[in-house]
């Protein structure tokens, strides 16, 4: 009974802590401006099924996609066994679903092959990051904590899968010895090869099995509560993030309602624009000025670097990295959320997303080509954030590079970005 009580306390405590951290993240995301993403639910469900569940965009790079698929399937399917572990832990039983007979054997056997796939894939990922040093996984924004975070997760997954296989191997050997309640149940196509390396003492085998059982369940609960502090939060958020994707064509930028109403009023004197919000601003200076979807994007970022590796500005040595844009937004959002949590409401801290976290040079290096959006495996849109920060710089501060200001002047005076009169715009057709 003591073991069951300890198990119940651990489970309840882990779930309460996770729910507390999840509520904080939800509150942070709600700081963003409203945007309607409720249209066309059938297309949204299809997008989520293809991109999040089906890993469709991952397969633009086949090798890492296959490795990720093993980890993804292993994580999802092996954790089905968590249901049995939880019931066994609460009731003091052992392999309670063994009454399923042949189907149970099939399940355990499948779990073992998947566990081996996860273990091998994570080892390959560790080698790619730390020995092969794939460039997009070793950029300067990934140094220190982001790199450590990625390695911690891979090591945890390797340890969890190793514990799972070792638990099954010791369980199988105890079954063969007819030890206590270890009745014959399950199929062990992978862990059976570990039997020659295990002790022949039933007491030692029982200690190994119990240690691995506890390590596996406590490791999963610890992993659950590590997610809110890690880039691996995408395990949870990839699904809502892809569902709420922007379904408009990628080249279509959103209009600002305040500007649209002003133009309507100029063209139609009978049009009465709605009352303007006195606190509203053009574009975004800080995270509170972005939409909640951009903030959800920031928390969903996997830091895989596909966006940055496809960015033409980054390729030519410019400062811009779309991945860094998302990481900076998440860091600032976390900082603002903690500010509100401590003070009850946001207290000015002299910082902002633009300048403090993201420099003007980064913003104006962007070509707005949408390559980052196209490449992202979970439909994150760094361009939305870049455009809003640019709008603030231009429309609120009147700060833009000289080349941009020249273009604005030409449009105002000549009706085109080029520095010649409107009457000369068709002259090129007369050239022989």
Q: What is the mean pLDDT of residues 20-39?
A: 93
pLDDT band of residue 27 (cuts 50, 70, 90) is very high
pLDDT for 263 equals 85
Is 323's pLDDT higher than 90? Answer: yes
Would you tell me the crossing angle of helices 202-226 and 145-177 to the nearest 10 degrees?
A: 150
Query: Taking the CB of residue 294, how many other CB atoms lie within 10 A of it?
Result: 24
pLDDT band of residue 306 (cuts 50, 70, 90) is very high
| Run of H or E including 163 | helix 145-177
Express as a percent the part of the chain with pLDDT over 90.
Answer: 47
Residue 33 has phi, psi (to 5 degrees) of: -65, 155
Predicted model pTM: 0.87
Report the alpha-carbon angle 379-383-387, nearest 5: 150
CB burial readout 35-45, b (16+ within 10 A) else e: eebeeeeeebe
Q: What is the mean pLDDT of residues 237-254?
A: 92
pLDDT digits (tens, 9 = 90+) for 133-160: 888 888 888 888 888 998 999 999 999 8
Question: What are the C-alpha distances in Å from 8 to residues 15, 21, 208, 389?
Answer: 11, 20, 21, 48
Judged by DSSP in three states, 67 sits in: helix
Pull the structure tokens for residue 321: 């990295």
Pull the structure tokens for residue 81: 């066994």
* CA separation for the pair 402, 5 (Å, rounded): 69
**Residue of 73, 250, 222, 240 whose CA lies nearest to 156:** 222
Domain boundaries, the chain: 2-30+61-237, 257-267+279-412
Check residue 35 and give left, alpha or beta (phi > 0: left; psi -120 to 50: alpha).
beta
pLDDT digits (tens, 9 = 90+) for 11-20: 999 999 999 9
73-77, 102-106, 115-119, 248-252 — which is least confidently predicted? 73-77
**Residue of 215, 238, 223 whose CA lies nearest to 152:** 223
Q: What is the mean pLDDT of residues 235-249?
A: 93
Query: Taking the CB of residue 10, how many other CB atoms lie within 10 A of it?
Result: 16
**216, 85 contact by CB (below 8 A):** yes
* CA separation for the pair 54, 47 (Å, rounded): 9
Of residues 156 and 423, the one with the higher pLDDT is: 156
pLDDT digits (tens, 9 = 90+) for 169-228: 998 898 888 887 777 887 889 999 999 999 889 899 999 988 998 998 898 899 889 989
**216, 160 contact by CB (below 8 A):** yes
49-53, 83-87, 105-109, 428-432 — which is least confidently predicted? 428-432
Residue with the two structure tokens 């090129």: 428
Facing residues of 89 across strands?
none
Residue with the two structure tokens 């050997």: 173
DSSP state, residue 33 = B
* Domain 257-267+279-412: CATH class, spelled out: mainly alpha
pLDDT digits (tens, 9 = 90+) for 254-300: 888 878 888 888 888 888 878 766 677 889 999 999 999 999 999 99
Residue with the two structure tokens 């499948």: 110
**198, 169 contact by CB (below 8 A):** yes
pLDDT band of residue 377 (cuts 50, 70, 90) is very high
Q: How far from chain centre, in Å, is Cα 358?
A: 20
Mean pLDDT of the chain: 89
* CA separation for the pair 424, 429 (Å, rounded): 10
19-33, 54-68, 89-103, 401-415 — which is least confidently predicted? 89-103
């Amino acid at each position: 009974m003591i073991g069951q009580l300890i198990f119940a306390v651990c489970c309840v405590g882990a779930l309460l802590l996770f729910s507390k951290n999840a509520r904080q993240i939800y509150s942070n995301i709600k700081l963003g401006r409203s945007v309607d993403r409720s249209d066309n639910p059938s297309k949204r469900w299809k997008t989520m099924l293809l991109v999040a569940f089906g890993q469709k965009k991952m397969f633009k790079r086949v090798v890492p996609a296959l490795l990720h698929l093993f980890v993804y399937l292993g994580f999802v399917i092996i954790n089905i066994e968590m249901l049995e572990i939880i019931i066994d832990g609460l009731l003091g039983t052992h392999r309670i679903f063994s009454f399923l007979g042949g189907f149970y054997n099939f399940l355990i056997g499948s779990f073992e092959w998947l566990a081996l796939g996860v273990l091998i894939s994570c080892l390959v990922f560790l080698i790619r990051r730390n020995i092969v040093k794939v460039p997009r996984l070793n950029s300067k924004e990934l140094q220190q904590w982001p790199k450590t975070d990625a390695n911690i997760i891979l090591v945890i997954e390797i340890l969890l899968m190793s514990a799972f296989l070792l638990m099954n191997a010791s369980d199988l050997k105890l079954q063969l010895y007819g030890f206590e309640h270890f009745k014959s149940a399950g199929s062990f196509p992978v862990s059976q090869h570990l039997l020659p390396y295990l002790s022949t003492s039933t007491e030692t085998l029982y200690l190994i099995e119990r240690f691995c059982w506890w390590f596996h369940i406590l490791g999963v609960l610890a992993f659950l509560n590590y997610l809110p502090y890690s880039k691996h939060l995408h395990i949870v958020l990839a699904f809502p993030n892809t569902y709420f994707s922007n379904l408009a064509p990628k080249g279509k930028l959103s209009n600002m309602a305040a500007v649209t109403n002003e133009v309507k009023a100029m063209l139609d004197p009978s049009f009465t624009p709605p009352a303007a919000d006195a606190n509203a601003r053009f574009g975004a200076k800080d995270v509170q000025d972005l939409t909640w979807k951009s903030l959800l994007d920031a928390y969903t970022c996997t830091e895989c670097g596909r966006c940055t590796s496809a960015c033409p500005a980054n390729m030519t040595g410019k400062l811009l990295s779309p991945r860094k844009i998302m990481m900076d937004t998440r860091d600032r959002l976390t900082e603002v959320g903690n500010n509100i949590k401590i003070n009850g409401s946001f207290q000015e801290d002299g910082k902002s997303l633009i300048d403090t976290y993201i420099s003007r040079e980064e913003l104006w290096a962007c070509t707005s080509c949408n390559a980052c959006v196209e490449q992202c495996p979970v439909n994150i849109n760094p361009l939305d954030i870049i455009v809003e920060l640019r709008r603030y710089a231009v429309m609120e501060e009147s700060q833009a590079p000289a080349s941009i200001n020249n273009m604005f002047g030409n449009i105002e005076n000549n009706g085109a970005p080029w520095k010649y009169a409107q009457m000369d715009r068709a002259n090129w057709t007369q050239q022989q």
